[in-house]
Amino acid sequence: MTYDLAIIGGGPAGAAAGVYAARKKLRTILIADEFGGQSKVSTDIQNWIGTVSITGAQLAENLRAHMEAYRDDTLDIKEGEKVSSIEKTDGGFALKTENGEYYDAKMVLVATGSHRRKITVPGAEEFENKGITYCASCDGPLFKDKNIVVIGGGNAGFETAAQLLAYVKSVTLLDRGEKFRADQVTVERVLSKQNMKALHDIELLEVKGEKTVNAIVYKNTKTGEQTELPTEGVFVEIGQVPTTEFVKDLVNTNQHNQIIIDPRTQRTSQEGIWAAGDNTDVLYHQNNIAVGDAVRAVEDIYLHLHIK
């Protein structure tokens, strides 16, 4: 069987695309390792429009349930599978999964998102989601009136710090480099806040805690001096890794391996392949933005299939 559309990914973008494709009666297959995306691990999401507060686990359940409601005989859902490669064929594309399955589709929407680059020091795994978080937008309000640490001196790190200053008691930003990589105007603006400080030439050595984080240990790489800093939260902003490896030989990507798209249509450089969400080169990456981008893509895919 050849599907009209193959959607790859089960985060907000993939789920939104699945709902819209099913409603338009496109013969669709959705292939996802799991549902929910990066936010699945969040304990309290407060910026999902229309819902004041929801856990990441409940959001994942809701995304799947919404697709199931329109499933009928038009949408096939393959959960627990990852696409390992895509090949161009005369009729469209052949998708191979890590399970050794093959699927054919006329069009493809890549909505695999990205994953955060994580810290690997002692305590990092133990205290993930127990004080260590990789999503300021999701978890920032949970740290109201607390002293927290931000790891990362790029624009994302300083922008996270600026966002958190609206909630927290103080922010200490730590960066490995000799100088901050963020734009100078951003650095100056954020550092002008009284409850904000930042240190460079810093290597994170350990995250400590009991049930949750209560301190970090870091070293000044210039002097070798080690410091234990009490903190109730660690926000990590050391970059994202787009999940695009399986499609990089078919579509153009930028220096960050994000898929380059036409923001009007979500089309990639390869005819017949669209992309939406955190794996693309759009300026901002958020759940709500990913959903809108996926809807835009499906609208364009539908026209591409039915209007010649």
Assign 307 a pLDDT band (cuts: 50, 70, 90): confident
pLDDT of 43: 65
Structure tokens at 285: 């990456």
Q: Measured between alpha carbons, how far is residue 300 from residues 178, 200, 285 in Å?
A: 46, 46, 21
pLDDT digits (tens, 9 = 90+) for 217-251: 999 999 999 999 999 999 999 988 899 999 999 99
Number of alpha carbons in the 13 Å side-chain half-sphere of residue 65: 6
pTM for the full predicted model: 0.74
Beta strands 102-110 and 170-174 are unpaired
137 has pLDDT over 80: no
Tell me if 230 sits within 8 A of 205, measured CB to CB: no
pLDDT digits (tens, 9 = 90+) for 251-304: 999 999 999 999 999 999 999 999 999 999 999 888 999 999 999 999 999 999
Q: Measured between alpha carbons, how far is residue 163 from residues 156, 182, 264 in Å?
A: 10, 15, 29
Largest CA distance in the chain: 68
pLDDT digits (tens, 9 = 90+) for 16-49: 999 999 999 999 999 999 998 877 766 678 789 9
pLDDT of 104: 98
Instruction: Judge residue 235's burial from the number of C-beta atoms within 10 Å of its C-beta, 0-12 exposed, 13-18 middle, 19 or more buried.
Output: buried
Structure tokens at 163: 């966002």
pLDDT of 116: 82
What is the DSSP secondary-structure string of 72-133?
TTTEEEEET--EEEEEEETTEEEEEETTS-EEEEEEEEE---EEE----STTTTTTBTTTEE
- Chain centroid to Cα 90, Å, comes to 33
**Beta-carbon count within 10 A of 303 CB:** 11
Q: Pick the closest to residue 64 from 24, 107, 9 (CA basis).
A: 9
- Chain centroid to Cα 266, Å, comes to 17
What percentage of the chain carries pLDDT values higher than 70? 99
Tell me if 85 sits within 8 A of 57, measured CB to CB: no
Distance CA 83, CA 29 (A): 12
Between 44 and 87, name the one with better pLDDT.
87
Between 45 and 215, name the one with better pLDDT.
215
Distance CA 248, CA 227 (A): 43
State the sign of the Cα–Cα–Cα–Cα dihedral 50, 51, 56, 59.
Answer: negative
